[in-house]
Amino acid sequence: MASLRDIKTKIKGVKKTRQITRAMNMVSAAKLRGVQARTLRFRPYAEKFAEVLARLAQGMRPDSHPLLYQAPQINTVAVLLFTSERGLCGAFNNNLILTALRFIREQEAAGKKVRIYAVGRKGYDYYANRRGQDFAGGITGDLGSMGFETVAAAADLVMRDFLSHDVQEAHMIYSNFRSMSTQAPTLEKILPITPPELASPGGAQVIDYIIEPSAEDLVGEILPRYLNVRVYQALLETATGEHAARMLAMDNATKNCSEIITNLTIMYNKARQAAITSELIDIVSGADAVSG
């Protein structure tokens, strides 16, 4: 049996670990609220944007803008993969990377090549160090502090390759925040752009707008921005999911620590009791020997 002092040191160590995991849990909770507030602030912009685009896109031909162009044959597919910057969030990043791997396998089975773009350190490192995978770089940094402009730069990477016809289709893989305990890796097609539908088609909503300069020009201006909006939304979802996943992971870790501490304390008490008993035996047998 381990000595009393060993057990005591171990209990101290586990208690410190528990303090850290508990603190990380609380930090994640705070960050989660921050990202959720940003998501709420972003919503009016995203909604208005989709509405305007839907209105403009009514009756537009699919070949009127390069970002709407559906190539007859697809050779290379781009994948924009969102992961978190840091670990310690359970299976969160693993699930995202696995989804990417599965998608790549499917595409390659269909005879297409896949090019990866990454947002977030985990996915970036995974693909940067993987041989035989076409990796086009990306952006790393804490997702929660990425602004709209940073994200636009990431979207730009993909868009450039699409416009130069290096890739004919683009998807993104991000984590869809369903609830505090469920974050589902989600695959979505982002290029060519499919314009959103009007919420109430054919209703009284149809209003004749004066459009300046012209519908085509305006669509040309807002389509790239629409891509940014989609990518930014995915980023916010992923950041929310990351913090939720970390909260859960840290909560579990804290519980495990408490359990270990309970077990160790029982062990400590037993060891102490055993030491007392053996000391007593010593004394008693010594006394017996003296009194003969």
| Spatial separation of the C-alpha atoms in residues 151 and 120, rounded to whole Å | 11
Q: The tokens of 208 are what?
A: 């004749």
Residue 158 main-chain phi, psi, to 5 deg: -70, -40
Distance in Å, CB of 225 to another protein, minimum: 7
Q: Which residue, chain included where needed, has tokens 């004394």? A: 283
Q: What is the pairing mode between strands 183-191 and 169-177? A: antiparallel
Residue with Cβ nearer another protein (96 or 231): 231
Site for another protein in 43-62 (CB under 8 A): 44-46, 48-49, 52, 55-56
User: Per rule CB under 8 A, is residue 112 in the interface with another protein?
Assistant: no
One-letter amino acid identity for 95? Answer: N
Site for another protein in 151-180 (CB under 8 A): 152
One-letter amino acid identity for 7? Answer: I
User: Per rule CB under 8 A, is residue 197 in the interface with another protein?
Assistant: no
Among 59, 72, 132, 147, binds another protein (CB under 8 A): 147
Residue with Cβ nearer another protein (41 or 270): 41
Distance in Å, CB of 248 to another protein, minimum: 28
Among 187, 222, 260, 267, binds another protein (CB under 8 A): 222
Size of the site for another protein (CB under 8 A): 30
Compute how many other C-beta atoms are within 10 angstroms of the C-beta atom of residue 172.
26
Q: Answer yes or no: are the C-beta atoms of 173 and 96 closer than 8 Å.
A: yes
| Dihedral class, residue 116 (left if φ above 0, else alpha if ψ from -120 to 50, else beta) | beta
Q: Is 269 helix (H, G, I), strand (E, B) or coil?
A: helix
* Piece of 59-67, 75-83, 121-129, 220-228 that binds another protein (CB under 8 A): 220-228
Among 208, 287, 291, 292, binds another protein (CB under 8 A): 208
Distance in Å, CB of 76 to another protein, minimum: 24
Q: 223: burial class by Cβ within 10 Å (0-12, 13-18, 19+)?
A: buried
Residues that bind another protein (CB under 8 A): 38, 41-42, 44-46, 48-49, 52, 55-56, 147-149, 152, 207-213, 217-218, 221-222, 225, 228-229, 232
